């Protein structure tokens, strides 16, 4: 570090091309300057740290630069330097939080019509403009209606909904957006290089995510990380600074929830406590992870809504397939309630554990969502497939996902079980040397990559949404999402190939048992991995679903009818 100036101040944007992530705003301002169509008043809205005040200063340079008005201020003339240093007599920055009274507004109204003392135009930048009092807004309204020549106003706010409509209607509004994680991470790497600091890419991305789209916050975190890491910032440094849990831990926790592994949940939370993590912060990150899973599950065709690198998108897609939309919605509701309770509870650990256990085990959840999950389990045991009944007016139909009266297999007993009707057994404490259930879950991507190397692409695709649910050293139980019974059969038939891959990755070749897990959420989504039914089956389903009689079966075309769940 070359000096003691904070990084967010030292690397504040000084020209239009230095503003990050706000191309739409810069393009509009540059065009307005070139066409001499600048408004007298601007409203800059957006989250903190996204460049509102910096852009207002750049606008002041545009209109006051000695070579201007110009869309590309030189940055070296006396006018530009004075604005950069904050000493320009005609560019005033007003903090409405401390100078938002009616007297301050009246003083501004009286000073505005006077001639500029140093530059070409006067520019008033009012930060946190929503903090102005009602009387102050009333006092400014007249000058906004009939602005004197050579005066411009820039109102910056993080809460535009609190601005009076009479003021907003007289301003040209620009909405600043949160800056993407990749763009902020790239900027942090450039700053680190300028400062002679080593920052790993994963550390830069972690700082960017922690900044939540705010470049200023991310730079402040980098500043602290450099001090903590002694000139080298790694992902471990960031974890020590912000107390963020490992990304892999979020995936492990979601895997545990997917198969109802309550013991695994307690072990993971205990590990976080032993590491000294802030459980309130951890809860927020788990919420963000489950939200990403819900987004991928419910809107897979909207990749732009998910701010994640490609490798994480792929992992999220595979894990999201392990849940239904209803399950993820119920988990989010429980975690949101826990986050709210943590504001005043003296035991955040208990609050988080209770929410996670209720997420994993519907029997522990007394809410309507938990009751719905238990009813679905009974329906499955009765051989009823409810399908996706989220839309009103849809009726359940008889399905063939599970058969009534059949018991789930026990992978530890050695009994053979029919894979299409199997249900996962409870997770238990693994005891197989250095290889345990958590190791298998953490290394699942290695299994998938090894299958890809062997060109076993179909087997790999069927295993992407699978979770290891139990392992006793000799038998490994793999749990499939509800409705994937044919995937269960396909994988079970390739047991020897899968055992060979496990031998390469883990050095052990356990017996593989594939099971079909029960839903743990409020809505069951049945995957369409079944072959089309025969004509006779289709006719029977129609009769049962609609209560109708087919008078002339021979007239039905001799094709396979694909009857969807109503």
pLDDT given for residue 419 in this prediction: 39
Give dist(CA 404, CA 450) in Å, integer. Answer: 38
Which pair of tokens denotes residue 538? 């289709």
Please say if the pLDDT value at position 389 is more than 60: no
Confidence of residue 262 (pLDDT cuts 50, 70, 90): confident
Q: Which tens digit of pLDDT belongs to each residue from 209-240?
A: 888 889 999 999 999 998 888 888 888 888 78
* Per-residue confidence band for 422, with pLDDT thresholds at 50, 70 and 90: very low
**CA 397/CA 104 separation, integer angstroms:** 70
Query: CATH classification of 247-360, choosing from 1.10.540.10, 1.20.272.10, 1.20.1560.10, 1.20.1260.10?
Result: 1.20.272.10
Q: What is the pLDDT of residues 451-466, one digit of tens each?
A: 888 888 888 888 888 8
Query: Could you tell me the CA-to-CA distances from 425 to 90, 258, 375, 471 in Å, in that order?
Result: 74, 13, 19, 11
When the candidates are 1.10.8.60, 3.10.180.10, 3.40.630.30, 1.10.10.10, the CATH number that belongs to 181-242 is: 1.10.8.60
Which H or E run includes 147?
none
Across the range 515-538, mean pLDDT stands at: 55
**Whether pLDDT at 480 is above 50:** yes
Q: Beta strands 122-127 and 232-233: pairing type?
A: unpaired
pLDDT mean over 338-350: 86
Peptide bond into 478 cis (omega under 30): no
pLDDT in tens, 159-169: 888 889 988 98
Q: Band of the pLDDT at 540, cuts 50, 70, 90?
A: low
How much is the average pLDDT of 281-287? 87
Q: What is the mean pLDDT of residues 528-543?
A: 54
236: Cβ–Cβ under 8 A, 6 or more apart, which residues? Answer: none
Total Cβ atoms within 10 A of residue 59: 24
Domains of the chain: which residue ranges?
A: 22-175, 181-242, 247-360, 384-530, 531-566
Token pair of 327 as six digits:
């399950």
CA 259 remoteness from chain centre: 22
Say which CATH class 384-530 falls into: alpha beta
In this structure, whether the domain defined by 22-175 belongs to CATH 3.40.50.300 is answered with yes
Model pLDDT, residue 482: 79
Given this chain, do its domains 22-175 and 384-530 carry the same CATH topology? no
């Amino acid at each position: 570090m070359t000096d003691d100036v904070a990084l967010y101040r030292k690397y504040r944007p000084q020209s239009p091309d230095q503003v990050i992530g706000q191309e739409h705003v810069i393009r509009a301002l540059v065009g307005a300057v070139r066409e001499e169509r600048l408004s007298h008043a601007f409203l800059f809205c957006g989250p903190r740290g996204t460049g509102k005040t910096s852009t207002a200063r750049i606008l002041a340079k545009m209109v006051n630069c000695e070579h201007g008005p110009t869309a590309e201020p030189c940055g070296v003339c006396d006018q530009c330097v004075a604005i950069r240093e904050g000493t320009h007599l005609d560019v005033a920055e007003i903090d409405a939080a401390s100078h938002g009274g009616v007297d301050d507004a009246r003083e501004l109204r009286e000073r505005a019509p006077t001639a500029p003392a140093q530059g070409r135009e006067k520019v008033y930048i009012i930060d946190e403009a929503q903090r102005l009092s009602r009387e102050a807004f009333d006092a400014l309204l007249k000058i906004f209606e009939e602005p004197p020549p050579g005066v411009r106003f820039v109102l910056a706010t993080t809460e535009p909904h609190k601005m009076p409509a009479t003021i907003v209607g007289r301003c040209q509004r620009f909405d600043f957006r949160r800056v993407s994680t990749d763009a902020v991470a790239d900027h942090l790497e450039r700053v680190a290089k300028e400062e002679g600091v080593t920052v790993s890419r994963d550390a830069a991305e972690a700082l960017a995510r922690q900044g939540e789209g705010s470049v200023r916050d991310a730079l402040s975190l980098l500043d602290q990380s450099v001090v903590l890491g002694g000139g080298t910032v790694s992902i471990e440094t960031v974890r020590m600074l912000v107390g963020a849990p490992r990304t892999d831990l979020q995936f492990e926790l979601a895997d545990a929830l997917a198969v109802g592994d309550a013991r695994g949940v307690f072990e993971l939370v205990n590990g976080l406590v032993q590491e000294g993590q802030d459980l309130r912060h951890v809860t927020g990150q788990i919420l963000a992870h489950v939200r990403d899973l819900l987004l991928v599950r419910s809107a897979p065709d909207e990749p732009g809504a998910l701010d994640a690198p490609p490798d994480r998108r792929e992992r999220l897609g595979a894990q999201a397939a392990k849940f239904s939309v209803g399950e993820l919605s119920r988990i989010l509701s429980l975690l949101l309630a826990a986050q709210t309770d943590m504001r005043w509870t003296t035991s955040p650990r208990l609050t988080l554990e209770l929410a996670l256990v209720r997420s994993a085990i519907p029997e522990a959840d007394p809410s309507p969502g938990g009751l719905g999950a238990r009813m679905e389990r009974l329906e499955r045991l009765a051989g009823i497939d409810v399908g996706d009944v989220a839309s009103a007016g849809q009726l359940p139909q008889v399905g063939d996902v599970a058969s009534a009266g059949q018991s789930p297999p026990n992978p530890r007993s050695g009994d053979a079980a029919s894979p299409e009707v199997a249900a996962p057994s409870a997770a238990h404490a693994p005891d197989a040397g250095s290889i345990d259930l958590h190791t298998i879950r953490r290394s699942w991507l290695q299994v998938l990559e090894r299958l890809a190397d062997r060109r076993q692409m179909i087997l790999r695709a069927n295993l992407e949404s699978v979770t290891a649910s139990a392992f006793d050293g000799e038998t490994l139980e793999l749990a499939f999402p509800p409705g994937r019974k044919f995937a269960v059969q396909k994988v079970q038939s390739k047991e020897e190939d899968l055992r060979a891959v496990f031998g390469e990755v883990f050095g052990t070749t356990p017996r593989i048992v594939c099971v079909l897990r029960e839903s743990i959420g409020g809505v069951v989504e049945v995957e369409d991995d079944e072959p089309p039914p025969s004509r006779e089956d289709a006719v029977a389903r129609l009769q049962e679903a609609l209560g109708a009689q087919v008078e002339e079966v021979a007239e039905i075309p001799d094709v396979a009818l694909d009857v969807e769940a109503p």
